[in-house]
Structure 1
C-alpha cells in the first residue's frame, strides 16, 4: 500500500481565473515519470471553481472521464449534444473514445468542488458516449467496463467499518472526513494505492465519504 497525502498533490489550474486544481498524477506541466498512472487510473484531480469560472471547450480522446461533485453544481456541455447540471451524489461519465469536446463551468452563485478521474480504456477508439447516474446509493458499485474498473462510493458514519474490494489495483480516495485503512490514517484529499488488495477494511474515524476504484490487472 502506497499512501499519497493531499499536500503532495501537484498544484495546477489558473487561480487568477477562479480555477484551483490539485493533481494526484503527472498532469500538464507537472511531469513525474514515476507517477504516470495506477492501474487504469490516469488522473485524480481535485478541482475548485469560483462562481462563473470554468474550462472552455477543449478536446479529449481515448479516455473514460468520471466526475464526482463534492459541493456546488457543475454545468457540462459536450459536442455530442449533452448539456447537464451535475450535483453532489451524481456520477457522471464521459467516454471520449475516438474524440469529443466539452465545456465544464460553475454557472451557480456558490463555489464548486469536484473530483475528476480519468481512466485508460482497454480498447481505444469507438464512438463517444455519455451517462449520468443521479444520487447513486451508498455501496452501489458503478461499472466502467471499458476500463475494466468499478467505482464504489461509501458514505460512513463515525466508527463504521467497510470492506475494501479485493483487486489487482485498488485506489482509495478520501473526499471528506477521516478513515483508518490498514493502520494508516487518511484525511481529506489523501489517497492509498493498493496492489493485490486482499481482506482490507476501512474504518471511519469521523463521518466520511470515500471513493474506491477496483481495477483489473493489465
Structure 2
C-alpha cells in the first residue's frame, strides 16, 4: 500500500512570530489525528525553519529516538547530559532520550536554519541517554534502538536508486524531484513524502538532482530482526 502526503498537506505549527516555522507529517502537539499517530517506528517527521537567533528553549524528552538532518544553516545543540554541538548540512544528529533528558536547539548563526527532525519509538523504553553526530553522512545509518535504518540518497538527474523492501518504508524528499516507481508510479517534490507498507521493493528515479531520506523499518510487533 502506498500513501502520498504532499508538502502542502502537512500540519502547520511552530511560532512564526518567534521565527519558528514547522510542518508536521504526523499528529504532533495540538494537531491530533487518530488515524495519523505513527508510521512504523516513526512518530514524527517535522520540517523546521528557524530564523537567525530563533530556537527552542530547554525542554524535556523521554523514550524517544530523535534524529535530525540539517539542510541549510547551523543547528546549535546543548543537552543536560553535557553535549554542546554545532550540526551543519550533511551532518546527522541522534539523541536517544531514554529515561529522560532536556535539550536546547537554536540558530545562533546569521543565516536561516532548515532541518528535518524525525522521532522514532524505541523497542525498549528507559535507560541512559545517548548522543552522537555523524559528520558528512554518506549512505546509510543504522538505528538498532528502533530496529530501523535511514538511507541517504543523492541521485543526479536521470539516476535511479532502489527503495528497500521492508514492513514500513518512509520516503521524504528534501530537495529536487523524483519519480517513485511503485504501484502506481508517483512524482514527488520537496517536502513530499510516501509511506509504503510492504514488503515490496521499488525504484526511485531522479528527475532533477535530488536529496531523499528513506526510513526502512520493521514491524515493531515482530521484535528485533
Same fold (TM over 0.5): yes
Per the TM alignment, residue 156 of structure 1 is displaced from its structure 2 partner at its CA by 1.1
Per the TM alignment, residue 152 of structure 1 is displaced from its structure 2 partner at its CA by 0.3
Aligned to 1:103: 104
SS in 2 for 1:167: coil
> Is 1:114 matched up with 2:115?
yes
* Map 1:78-157 → 2, pairs under 5 A: 78-137=79-138, 140-157=139-156
Aligned to 1:174: 173
Per the TM alignment, residue 176 of structure 1 is displaced from its structure 2 partner at its CA by 0.3
Per the TM alignment, residue 197 of structure 1 is displaced from its structure 2 partner at its CA by 3.6
Distance 2:33 2:219 in 1: 22
| 1:141-166 per-position Cα deviation (integer Å, ceiling 9, x unaligned) | 10110001000001110000000011
> Is 1:200 matched up with 2:202?
yes
Per the TM alignment, residue 199 of structure 1 is displaced from its structure 2 partner at its CA by 2.6
Aligned to 2:49: 48
Q: Which runs of 4+ in 1 moved over 4 A?
A: none
Instruction: Name the TM-score, length of structure 2 as normaliser.
Output: 0.95
Distance 1:177 1:197 in 2: 26
SS in 1 for 2:28: coil
| 1:80-128 per-position Cα deviation (integer Å, ceiling 9, x unaligned) | 0000000000010000000000000000000000000000000000000
| 1:28-69 per-position Cα deviation (integer Å, ceiling 9, x unaligned) | 000000000000000000000000000000000000000000
Aligned to 1:35: 36
Structure that is richer in strand per residue: 1
**Count of residue pairs brought into register by the alignment:** 216
Distance 1:161 1:143 in 2: 22
Distance 2:81 2:47 in 1: 25
Distance 1:36 1:191 in 2: 16
Per the TM alignment, residue 198 of structure 1 is displaced from its structure 2 partner at its CA by 2.0
Structure 1: where are the runs of 5+ without partners?
none
SS in 2 for 1:16: helix
CA RMSD of aligned residues (A): 0.5
Distance 2:164 2:107 in 1: 34
Instruction: Name the TM-score, length of structure 1 as normaliser.
Output: 0.98
Distance 2:47 2:11 in 1: 10
Aligned to 2:7: 6
Structure 2: where are the runs of 5+ without partners?
221-225
